[in-house]
Structure 1
Amino acid sequence: MAGQLSGAVSTRSSSRRAATLRLLRRRLIQAVPLMLGVVVINFVLIHLAPGNFLDVMTAENQVSDPATVELLRRTYGLDDPTWLQLVKYVWALLHLDFGFSYRQNMPVLQAIWVGLPATLLLMLSSITLAFAVGVSAGVVASTKVRTLWDTVVSVAAMFFFAAPSFWLGIMMIVLFAVKLGWLPVGGMATIGGGGGLLDILHHLILPTLALGLFYAAIYARVMRASMLEVAQLDFVRTARAKGLSRTRVTLSHVLRNALLPVVTILGVQMGTILAGSVVIESVFSWPGIGSLLFDSVSSRNYPVVLGIMVLGSLVVIAANIAVDLVYMWLDPRIEIR
């Protein structure tokens, strides 16, 4: 009997591993045409905009000689038709060549890599804060419905959801940096460029709060509603009828199933979190890719803009694949196709 049970468990585990591998294979195959579509759409939209980086470069360097301008145009391939430029760009991407940034005088990938760790750190810390605070607040509110705790969580969630992140960041700077002097305004050194761990954490607090509290408010409201819905299901009533404690029922039965909508929203919002981090970086002078993107758009440095969009799309796709895997872990009954 024990051998049969062990064999059944082993078979089920092998089946789950095989399902996970199939899911990863399907998602990676689907990612190829998706990324191609992202590249084509962004490339076309950017090239439909008036002007290009050559206009800015010649104006800044006061280059007016037509022969020189034409030479630069041929050098950067701007004399080719748009479709040919697109084909060349896609072919270069296949060789991990994102182009050259004339503004930073270095390859695009290298220019992005300088600020990418700081942006990823801000995103990770904000997501962690939002998920931890939002889920915890939602659980508390759902277990204390129509009490003071529920009211406090609901009011706080509505406030942080309604408050724009950049406005919240400015208010935090005024209060905690200017008035109280507890935290720095901004201007952190580039990660890996001399900033110590304590210095990074010191500068990270305000940007993380400004970006993370907005999403924490969303997760708190969704978690509260999901907890109340799951608590009415039959399997939860059965667990209570068996005499299990309220805490065990909440943590072992309700919480795990109620997390599914929150995980879904987290995967969908990865793109907006990345966009929000770019705005927050500008407010707090955070040395990520936000300032690089802003400068590249202003100077029409399109290779850098395209490179950031491509890498941002890769982050979103990877996050959604991770969400699918978390789904399968939270509820083994789910088979994602």
Structure 2
Amino acid sequence: MTLLSRLGFLLLKAVPTVFIVVTLSFFFVQLAPGDIADYIAASSGAATEEGTSALRESLGLDRPILEQLLHYYGTLAQFSLGQSMRFDVPVTELIAARLPSTLLLVGTSITLALALGIAAGAVMALNAGRSKDRLLSAVTLVLYSIPSFWIGLMLIIVFAVQLGWLPTGGAEKIGSRASGFSYLLERGRYLLLPSLALASYYIAIYARLTRSSMLEVIRQDHVRTAVAKGLNRWQVSLRHIVRNALIPVSTMAGMHIAGILGGAVVVETVFSWPGMGRLTYEAINARDYVLLLGILLTSAFVVIIANILVDLLHRVLDPRIGARA
């Protein structure tokens, strides 16, 4: 099966997954106490019960749940995510304004986690049982045990408050006119702390996984053959050990995309990062289920696409996978 045909097959398989995500998300959102009418009434401070009931009726919240679900299906069939009840603008506009920031944060976090985790795991595997292995094992255990929001707060205290090297939050300087390399450097300063906080937990996982995978690959016959041929240590490590050890690591990384998106809700709140995480928090507070469903559906698409890319990456790392399919 070629890469193109495999891509089409995976996209076709994703259709029922999206349908299940939409249906389950809709019912889970309905289980939450209150609705947007209660939020608006509480915000106004002078709403009456009759006014709240009239507002609920105008928004269609008094209809049976199945009728509301069918109406939402009809909205999706028109390639629309509906209208936000709180902001009174299309959900697609709100998500389009926030999604790039979240993708930037998540992409940077997963890149940092893979790069630092694989590097640390490789050092641990090549120095198994030695001081470097024990030291890095202790560090990864600490990172694995501490929640990301606490690490984020500590990073703010140390690097932003005490040292003053990096900003405490936000995505860019207000009123900045930087461009080119200066703009990238400025965005990088705002991006570094939240991406490190979000990546810390996964650095520990990938380091431990890389270490165990490399130790397993080292014992295989093709590695012994490469050493017997006279290849130096770096050639054997990069071409024969690390490349084969990347398959389980990349598989786990694809599975973690959903977790990283979930963790972004907390990290974006801590660092005031203007992404979908903060938008999710605002939608939950306002009981804006149309906006929340749009965010969940978009997140599901991101996770599905990420897993498709991981599947295709496996075929690049190990052509035998494609031959067996």
Q: TM-score range by the shorter chain?
A: over 0.9
Which stretch shifts more, 124-133 or 53-62? 53-62
TM-score under structure 1 length normalisation? 0.89
1:308 aligns with 2:291: no
Q: CA separation in 2, counterparts of 1:33 and 1:84?
A: 21
Q: Cα distance, 1:31 vs. partner?
A: 0.6
1:208 aligns with 2:191: no
Q: Cα distance, 1:58 vs. partner?
A: 2.8
Q: Deviations over 1:49-99 (max 9, x none)?
A: 222111211332333262x54543343222321111111111211222112
Q: Cα distance, 1:213 vs. partner?
A: 2.0
Residue 191 to residue 103, structure 1, CA distance change in 2 (3 Å): farther
Q: Cα distance, 1:178 vs. partner?
A: 1.1
Q: CA separation in 2, counterparts of 1:314 and 1:281?
A: 20
- 8 A contact 2:172–2:190 mirrored in 1: no
Q: CA separation in 2, counterparts of 1:65 and 1:253?
A: 70
* Aligned AA (1:80): R
Residue 199 to residue 168, structure 1, CA distance change in 2 (3 Å): same
1:64 aligns with 2:48: yes
* Aligned AA (2:16): P
Match of 2:62 among 79, 87, 93: 79
- 8 A contact 1:115–1:288 mirrored in 2: yes
1:241 aligns with 2:224: no
Match of 2:139 among 136, 150, 156: 156
How does 1:15-164 map onto structure 2 within 5 Å?
A: 18-61=1-44, 62-64=46-48, 66=50, 68-164=51-147
Q: CA separation in 1, counterparts of 2:266 and 2:117?
A: 22
Q: Cα distance, 1:194 vs. partner?
A: 6.9
State the secondary structure of the residue aligned to 1:334: helix
- Please name the residue that 2:319 is paired with: 332
1:175 aligns with 2:158: yes
State the secondary structure of the residue aligned to 1:104: coil
State the secondary structure of the residue aligned to 2:274: coil
Q: Deviations over 1:286-325 (max 9, x none)?
A: 1111221111111111111111111111111111101100
- Please name the residue that 1:276 is paired with: 263
Q: CA separation in 2, counterparts of 1:334 and 1:167?
A: 41
Q: CA separation in 1, counterparts of 2:97 and 2:176?
A: 9
Equivalent residue pairs, number? 319
RMSD (CA atoms): 2.0
Q: Deviations over 1:200-251 (max 9, x none)?
A: 2111111111111221111011001100100111111111122222211111
Q: CA separation in 1, counterparts of 2:49 and 2:111?
A: 54
Please list every run of 5 or more consecutive structure 2 residues that lacks an aligned counterpart in the other structure: none
Residue 93 to residue 189, structure 1, CA distance change in 2 (3 Å): farther
Q: CA separation in 2, counterparts of 1:204 and 1:19?
A: 38
Which stretch shifts more, 218-227 or 188-197? 188-197
Q: Deviations over 1:170-214 (max 9, x none)?
A: 111111111111111113349999784333211111111111122
Q: CA separation in 2, counterparts of 1:321 and 1:194?
A: 38
Structure ID, larger Rg: 1
Q: CA separation in 1, counterparts of 2:266 and 2:79?
A: 28
- 8 A contact 2:83–2:91 mirrored in 1: yes
Please list every run of 5 or more consecutive structure 1 residues that lacks an aligned counterpart in the other structure: 1-17
* Aligned AA (1:63): A
Q: CA separation in 1, counterparts of 2:142 and 2:199?
A: 13
State the secondary structure of the residue aligned to 1:333: helix
* Aligned AA (1:175): V
Residue 116 to residue 38, structure 1, CA distance change in 2 (3 Å): same
- 8 A contact 2:38–2:52 mirrored in 1: no
- 8 A contact 1:115–1:190 mirrored in 2: no
* Aligned AA (2:159): F
Q: CA separation in 1, counterparts of 2:75 and 2:199?
A: 36
